[in-house]
Amino acid sequence: MDPYFQVAVLSQTENPQGLIWQAMHQDYSEQWVYNERVPHEKRAGELIVKHLLQGGRGHMGPFEHPCITFAVGYFPHSVMQQARTHRTGISFDCQSMRYTGKRICEVAKGEADVESVFYLRQPDLYADRQGKKYFYKEEQRQEDLMYCVENAKRYARAIKEGLAEEHARSLICFDIRQHFVVSFNMRSLMHFLDLRAKADAQPEIHNLCLKLLPYFQEWSPAVAEWYEKNRLGKARLAP
The residue annotated as part of the active site, out of 177, 187, 196, 231, is 196
CA distance 228 to 202: 20
Whole-angstrom distance, CA of residue 84 vs CA of residue 90: 8
Residues forming beta bridges with residue 126, ordered by sequence position: 134
Pairwise CA distance, residues 57 & 205, whole Å: 29
Between CA 125 and CA 218 the distance in angstroms is 34
Q: Of 117, 84, 111, 101, nearest to 166 (Cα)? A: 101
Paired residues of 113 in beta bridges: none
3-state SS class at 179: strand
Whether 196 sits among the annotated catalytic residues: the reply is yes
Question: Cβ–Cβ contacts within 10 Å for residue 96, how many?
Answer: 12
Query: 134 Cβ partners below 8 Å, 6+ apart?
Result: 125, 126, 127, 128
C-alpha–C-alpha distance, residues 134 and 138, integer Å: 13
Chain centroid, CA 98 distance in Å: 22
Backbone angles phi, psi at 227, to 5 degrees: -60, -45
CA distance 222 to 20: 12
Q: Which residues are catalytic?
A: 196
